Structure 1
Amino acid sequence: MIGLASSLSSCIPYLRAGGSVPPACSGVKSLNAAANTTPNRQATRRCLKSAPGSILGVNYALAAGLPSE
Structure 2
Amino acid sequence: MSRITSVFIDSFGGRNVLGVADAFGQSFLYYSNRNPATGQWQRKVTFVKRVTSFGVPVLIGDGYYLD
**Given the two structures, how large is their TM-score scaled by the length of structure 1?**
0.29
More strand by share: 2
TM-score (norm 2): 0.30
Of the two structures, which has the highest relative contact order with CA contacts closer than 8 Å and spacing of 6 or more?
A: 1
